[in-house]
Amino acid sequence: MDCVFCKIIKGEIPSYKLYEDDLIMAFLDINPYAPGHTLIIPKEHTLDINTIPEETLNHIMKMAKDMAKLVTSKLDAPGFTLIQNNGFVQEVKHFHLHVIPKYRKNLEMDIKDVYKKITH
């Protein structure tokens, strides 16, 4: 299957990985809305909110809190937003939850520096 996120899970496409376990993986979005923009995906390919197993979805929501805590604290973001797209607004057809840190002022940072700040 030609799925970019399945390729990231397999390591066929590199990513700035922040977390993984048996069920899920979290990594930085390559085209971020804001520094620290993170995607959380199930390891098993599934389309969207209607097809993801309940147990996996619950785990992703739990981990979203942990990932948000991590990135907002490391990057001094005073807030964050969660987004999950379905249907025609969903560009990548493998379920993903966006965790997007919010800043009071527009902030531009190189993704490599963002990754260093989060992981060090």
Strand partners, 19: 26
Which residue number, 13 or 61, has a Cβ lying nearer to ligand 5GP? Answer: 13
Pairing between strand 79-83 and 24-28? unpaired
Active site (annotated) includes residue 96: yes
CB contact at 8 A, 82 and 99: yes
Q: Which position among 39, 40, 94, 96 is part of the footprint of Zn ion (CB under 5 A)?
A: 94
Which residue number, 43 or 59, has a Cβ lying nearer to Zn ion? Answer: 43
Chain-centre distance for alpha carbon 16: 10
Identified catalytic residue from 94, 96, 98, 120: 96
Interacting residues toward ligand 5GP by CB under 6 A = 4, 13, 15, 27-31, 85, 90-92
